[in-house]
Amino acid sequence: MTSQLMTPKRARSFSSFYSSFSRHHLAVLLCMMLSLSVHYLLFAQSETVSMVPADVNSGKWTLVIHGGAGGPARGVMSEIAEKEYLDNLSEALKLGSAILVNGGTSLDAVETVVNFLEDCPLFNAGKGAVLNENGKAELDASIMDGRTGMAGAVAGATSIKNPVSAARLVMEKTNHVMLSGKGADDFAKKMGLKLVDPTYFITPLRLEAWKKWKASPPARNKPFRADKEKHGTVGAVALDQKGNLAAATSTGGMMGKMAGRIGDSPVIGAGTYANNNTCAVSATGQGEYFIRNVVAYDLSALMEYRGMPIEEAARLIIMEKIANQKAAGGLIAVDKDGNIAMPFNTNAMFRGFSKSTGENEVAIY
């Protein structure tokens, strides 16, 4: 029995061996854990990179704008007038493109473009808007973020200098989608936007057109004739370098419209829509038809659920669907890959586009 007992000398030797053995295995274990951690981090990093869309930060962007569908046939408008329209469309494109080429957001680009067109008296939005039956301008606008699906709109505004900016604030600063009338004007004032006297929007050209309308039988009881007089809206759609889409639209509506009438421009899904998975759309034309046919969303749905290319889907809606209902108008759209569509079934549509590839164009007919 004595030989089996652990003597102090043996105990010290065993303790030393055990301690050395433990340190060795602990070191091996730590090395194994470190190796596994490194492999895990490398794997996780490779997985994260592979999930980033290929076009993010690729430098690719697209901007499409419009100044409304309708107007006289080619050859009726003077060359000077045509040049003025084209020059202003080009300037709007430059402003929006400068934002996108420098990595700015699609939201900033479409708002900036529409602000410019709202300030230009040539177009039916902001200054230069058409007048309602009482000779007053009532303004509608909307904006939508394709990344978040959030949207904002104002309708029947009478003193907001740039309605589309108010629409963006509705989207970003409230829990609502649309504000109308005095509520929209009061909100814009609270947010610090510039307000103007309602007479600011009335130009001599629009006033003269309203007087002619007033002297004739009520135009609201007659068929809409988009090609007799330009009843345009303004809008912009964009794809930025991060792959985000946005759309914005602004209008004064239709000459001689009933007081309080609201068209498609501030109605999300009718006159404006954006979805990063499909496209961004801004429409122009007879608002009632665009609302009934949910035109902007319909384009997105045709792409998402039927797999139609953007140009094919856009032409189907404008050249067949609403045309068969004898409705006049057009739209602009850009998809998530930068492909564009600009169909219209009227004599003219004031429009333009610019791409990071260097392609750009402005046109009327």
Q: Which residues pair with 309 in a beta bridge?
A: none
Among 169, 198, 200, CA closest to 182? 198
Cross-strand partners of 283: 331
Q: Is 76 helix (H, G, I), strand (E, B) or coil?
A: coil
Enumerate residues 6+ apart whose C-beta is below 8 A from 287: 253, 254, 262, 263, 264, 265, 270, 271
CA distance 142 to 169: 10
Q: Is 158 a catalytic residue?
A: no
Interatomic CA distance for residues 336 and 276, integer angstroms: 6
Q: How open is the CA angle 308-317-275, to the nearest 5 degrees?
A: 55
259: left (phi over 0), alpha (psi -120 to 50) or beta: beta
Catalytic residue among 233, 272, 278, 284: 233
CB neighbourhood size of 121 (10 A): 17
Q: Within 234-335, where are the H helices?
A: 287-292, 295-306, 310-315
Coil/strand/helix, residue 70: coil
H-helix or E-strand spanning residue 154: strand 151-157
- For the beta sheet containing 329-335, the strands, ordered from the edge strand earlier in sequence to the opposite edge, are 272-274, 279-285, 329-335, 340-341
Q: Residue holding tokens 């902007």?
A: 296
- Residue 199, classified by CB atoms within 10 Å of its CB into exposed (0-12), middle (13-18) or buried (19+), is exposed
- What distance in Å separates the CA atoms of residue 149 and residue 236, rounded to the nearest whole number? 17
C-alpha–C-alpha distance, residues 277 and 245, integer Å: 9
Q: At residue 17, what are phi and psi to the nearest 5 degrees? A: -65, -45
Residues with catalytic annotation?
Answer: 233
